[in-house]
């Protein structure tokens, strides 16, 4: 008796990108009554044109998920296996075709959208890491400069000349401009060094950004959004550091008060990193809505999604929080610092001033 594969399950995916699936399950004949050369016909017939009664039945195969999209991984699941009348073992083989072209074999196949989504996730995570490092390294300069100006009483002289809100806003944008210039200089310097022959091979290609997949919005817009989200993250964190600087008088107090903010920002960054894998879920929307994690979440979205209009809404949302943080920080600074005297002389109430005048008695002309 010829040893034949009893059943061949052919799964044909027609126009997979549009998720239009056509399945063809053909029972195969076999056994003692098969053709002399041992071949099997796809229609289940044997050599003389009759159907082999000993052939296995056709299996029932479904594709999961039931309503796939271009970002879903497809899996063929046999819900009702074939039954062989001779009680022999049955071998299942899977063959996938995409738009008529032969595809991979096996029970599971990754759609083109799923492969692209996983590739873009690498770009999203790389962008988040770079944005976080730059923000944490450069935003601290605002706090150190403010403490130095408070110690030298320079901030009080400036506050007497211009409104406190304008002073805070000017300090933030001035330090942001300095940071952007520094980033541009260091990027040009590092790019020039990495462009030298043989430098990249020293790192085994680990620093090659050219291997990153193209983001959803394209590289030009992605880089522009990276600069915009860095500005938002810098201004948000810088405004908090300015408020902390209004409460601290020494470097030790600055370190004590800024540590909780730094740790909170680290946790928010980790939360935004986890939200990358939760496309459209509650984690992603929470990370987008919270102002201090919104720049990281939206930069990852720019790498994964082609839509550009959500970024305009996100930038407006973050800009509103920047203005609110500046106003709150300026009010706190005005309350805590802008007082006359070394310890801040208390303002006497009208009845206290009247009592002091009576105690001093009438003044001589």
Distances (CA, A) of 271 to 128, 238, 289: 11, 20, 12
- Phi-psi label, residue 19: left if phi above 0, alpha if psi -120 to 50, beta otherwise: left
Q: What is the C-alpha separation between 124 and 114, in angstroms, rounded?
A: 15
Structure tokens at 292: 């201090």
pLDDT at 50 over 60: no
Q: Tokens 């017939």 identify what position?
A: 45
Q: Is the predicted pLDDT of residue 41 greater than 50, yes or no?
A: no
Provide the 10 A C-beta neighbour count for residue 151: 12
Residues in the chain: 365
* Per-residue b or e along 262-296, where b marks 16 or more CB atoms closer than 10 Å to that residue's CB: eeebeebbebbbebbeeeeeebbebbbeebbbbbb
**Average of per-residue pLDDT across 278-307:** 92
SS3 at position 256: helix
Please report the sign of the dihedral spanned by the C-alpha atoms of residue 128, residue 130, residue 133, residue 139: negative
User: Which of 104-118, 218-232, 274-288, 341-355 shows the lowest mean pLDDT across its residues?
Assistant: 341-355
Nearest-angstrom CA–CA distance, 18 and 276:
25
Q: What is the model's pLDDT at position 165?
A: 74
The label of the residue with tokens 């063929």 reads 76
Band (277; pLDDT cuts 50, 70, 90):
confident
**169 compared with 265, residue with greater pLDDT:** 265
Q: Which two tokens stand for residue 158?
A: 């400036």
Q: What is the pLDDT of residue 15?
A: 35
For residue 16, the model assigns a pLDDT of 37
- CA neighbor of 163 nearest in space, from 273, 327, 9, 26: 327
Res 204: pLDDT: 57
Helices (H), ranges, the chain = 112-151, 154-161, 164-194, 199-202, 219-247, 251-274, 282-289, 294-304, 309-336, 350-360
Angle at 293 between CA 298 and CA 167, to 5 degrees: 105
pLDDT of residue 269: 93
Residue pair 298/229 in contact (Cβ under 8 Å)? The answer is: yes
Average pLDDT of the segment spanning 164-191: 87
Examine residue 65 and say whether the peptide bond preceding it is cis (omega within 30 degrees of 0). Answer: yes
pLDDT tens readout for residues 304-345: 988 999 999 999 999 999 888 878 877 777 776 555 344 444
End-to-end Cα, the chain, rounded Å: 135
Q: Give tens-digit pLDDT for 69-114.
A: 665 677 888 888 888 777 778 787 777 777 777 777 777 766 555 6
pLDDT value at residue 303: 92
Give 236-264 pLDDT, tens digit per residue: 998 888 888 777 777 788 778 888 888 99
Tell me the pLDDT of the chain averaged across its residues: 74
C-alpha torsion 188→193→195→201, nearest 10: -140
State both tokens at 333: 């600074």
Q: What is the DSSP string of 289-331?
A: HSTTTHHHHHHHHHHH----HHHHHHHHHHHHHHHHHHHHHHH
φ and ψ of 303, to 5 deg: -80, -25
DSSP state of 278: S
pLDDT of residue 62: 82
Q: Which two structure tokens, joined as six digits, stand for 135?
A: 């923000």
pLDDT in tens, 4-13: 333 333 333 3
How far apart are alpha carbons 178 and 73 in whole angstroms? 46
CB 239 within 8 A of CB 318: no
What is the percent of the chain where pLDDT is above 90? 24
Of the given ranges (55-59, 149-153, 359-363), which has the lowest mean pLDDT? Answer: 359-363
Residue 296: predicted pLDDT: 95
**Is residue 263 within 8 Å of residue 269, measured between CB atoms?**
no
CA dist 255 → 68, 154, 207, 336, 363 (Å): 52, 21, 33, 18, 52
């Amino acid at each position: 008796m010829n040893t034949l594969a009893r059943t061949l399950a052919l799964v044909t995916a027609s126009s997979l990108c549009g998720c239009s699936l056509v399945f063809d399950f053909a029972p195969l004949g076999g056994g003692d009554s098969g053709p002399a050369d041992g071949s099997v016909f796809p229609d289940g017939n044997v050599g003389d044109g009759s159907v082999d009664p000993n052939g296995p039945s056709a299996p029932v195969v479904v594709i999961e998920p039931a309503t796939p999209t271009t970002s879903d991984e497809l899996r063929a699941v046999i819900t009702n296996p074939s039954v062989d009348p001779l009680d022999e073992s049955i071998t299942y083989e899977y063959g996938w075709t995409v738009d008529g072209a032969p595809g991979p074999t096996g029970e599971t196949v990754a759609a083109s959208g799923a492969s692209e989504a996983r590739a873009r996730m690498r770009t999203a995570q790389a962008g988040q890491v770079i944005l976080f490092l730059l923000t944490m390294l450069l935003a601290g300069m605002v706090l150190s400069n403010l403490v130095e100006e408070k110690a030298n009483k320079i901030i009080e002289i400036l506050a007497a000349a211009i409104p406190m809100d304008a002073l805070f806003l000017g300090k933030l944008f001035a330090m942001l401009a300095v940071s952007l210039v520094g980033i541009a200089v260091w990027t040009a310097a590092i790019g020039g060094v990495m462009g030298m022959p043989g430098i990249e091979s020293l790192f085994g290609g680990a620093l090659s950004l050219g291997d990153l997949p193209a983001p959803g919005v394209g590289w030009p817009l992605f880089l522009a959004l990276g600069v915009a989200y860095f500005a938002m993250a810098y201004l948000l964190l810088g405004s908090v550091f300015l408020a902390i600087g209004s409460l601290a008088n020494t470097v030790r107090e600055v370190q004590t008060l800024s540590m909780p903010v730094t740790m909170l920002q680290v946790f928010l960054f980790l939360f935004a990193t986890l939200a990358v894998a939760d496309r459209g879920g509650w984690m992603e929307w929470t990370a987008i809505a919270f102002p201090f994690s919104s720049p990281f979440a939206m930069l990852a979205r720019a790498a994964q999604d082609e839509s550009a209009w959500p970024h305009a809404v996100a930038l407006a949302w973050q800009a509103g929080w920047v203005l609110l943080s500046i106003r709150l920080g300026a009010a706190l600074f005005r309350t805590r610092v802008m007082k006359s005297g070394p310890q801040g002389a208390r303002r006497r109430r009208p009845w206290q001033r009247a009592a002091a005048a009576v105690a001093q008695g009438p003044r001589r002309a």
